[in-house]
Chains A and B, each alone.
Chain A
Amino acid sequence: MEKWPNNRAWLLVLPVFVIVAFSAIIPLMTVINYSVQDIFGPNQAIFVGFEWFREMLADKRLHDALWRQFLFSGLVLVIEMPLGILIALAMPKKGWGVSLCLVTIALPLLIPWNTIGTIWIIFTRPDIGLFGAGMNSLLGIPFDHTARPLDAWITVMLMEVWHWTPLVALLAYAGLRAIPEAYYQAARIDGASAWSTFLYIQLPKMRGVLTIAFLLRFMDSFLIYAEPFVLTGGGPGNSTTFLSLYLVKIALLQFDLGPGGAFSLIYFVIVLLFSFIFYQALERIGKGDKV
């Protein structure tokens, strides 16, 4: 018989809840308030009902930004998850190499996000950047992320993969290190190949950390702002205008707090839905393993 969970334990998270109330719930309620009003200034607001939702849901530029965002997050997950696992598998298991690898791999995670954008602007500049000038002059491939949408996408993707694959790699490495040696011994006795060892021992054992890595990478890439803002500013044209860039443009640059509020709520529930679906799916896979 299944044990009844004791839900009183949840009361222990009350302090965290109070902090989250100030940092997230009060701002969220404010956004809800803004989303149904036309705000002209302090204490100058007119109630407009669901007008902003109607406008935002029909906004072609929001739709474009949303598809762009899905493409971006999809590519991020497809590239970063396998790459991170590969790096983790290739890392040394003991000796001085471990610390060296960990520190080197973690370096991109320690750099402020705005700085990362600046680094990549200089790195990919078509006239003087190591990458940009190298492509143009040495390889003869025309490359200009300020003028060509595809080049801008390649640059943003490269930057994103360089910046965040280390997180996946570190999490996967931690998962790998937590597997007891006995599993590998048993696999060797059975004469398992490296591929079956990976498929039946390492991958299932890494499921917990990979779930976290997957969710973190999905949410962070879906909410990405600072790096593309610095690197491309959403251009050329609107080709790298992701949801957050477009949202900031509406809410802060045009100061349309009402439509901005409605947009934020739409954005919020999209992230919420996908995180919920991914979490449930990954949990199911995990339970399937135990049967």
Chain B
Amino acid sequence: MKFTLAWMEWTVPTAIFCSTIIAIVIAMTIWQTVSPSLERRGFLPIPTTPGDRLFIGILTSVYIFFAWIGLTQFSPWILLGIVVCWVLVVMIWG
């Protein structure tokens, strides 16, 4: 029997999406292993570590995506820009 990944039905966009997420998680892991960060307060209502902020940033981005797709007809590329900015804002000032 030959081992294949055909059943996963990969496409180029989803491959880029998944590898970006995995790359971010690996980069965060290396960064926090080399120099661990302390919890701190930003504009979010709870004290967070960079890992918490990344999680909150990505999770809220998914809801922004749902609102964008569900309520508007605008291009997803604008959404991508908004989401990247939002995650950066949460990471830096959150």
A residues with CB within 8 A of B: 2, 4-8, 10-11, 26, 29-30, 32-34, 36-37, 39, 42-43, 45, 47, 49-50, 53-54, 57-58, 266, 269, 272-273, 276, 280, 284
Q: B59 touching A276 by the CB < 8 A rule? A: yes
Interface status of B70 (Cβ within 8 A of chain A): yes
Partner of B69, one of A11, A34, A57: A57
Q: B59 touching A4 by the CB < 8 A rule? A: no
Q: B59 touching A269 by the CB < 8 A rule? A: yes
Count of CB-CB pairs between chains A and B under 8 Å = 68
Taken together as a complex, chains A and B put the C-alpha atoms of A30 and B6 apart, in Å, by 10
Partner of B11, one of A33, A269, A273: A33
Smallest CB separation, A45 vs chain B (Å): 5
Name A37's closest neighbour in chain B (CB-CB).
B9
Known contacts: A7-B36, A53-B66, A266-B66. The answer to whether A32 contacts B6 by CB under 8 A is no
Within 8 A of A (CB), among B1-36: 6-11, 13-14, 17-18, 29, 32-33, 36
By a CB distance below 8 angstroms, the chain B residues around A57 are 66, 69-70
By a CB distance below 8 angstroms, the chain A residues around B42 are none
Name A276's closest neighbour in chain B (CB-CB).
B59
Q: B69 touching A8 by the CB < 8 A rule? A: no
Q: A54 touching B70 by the CB < 8 A rule? A: yes
Q: B62 touching A36 by the CB < 8 A rule? A: no
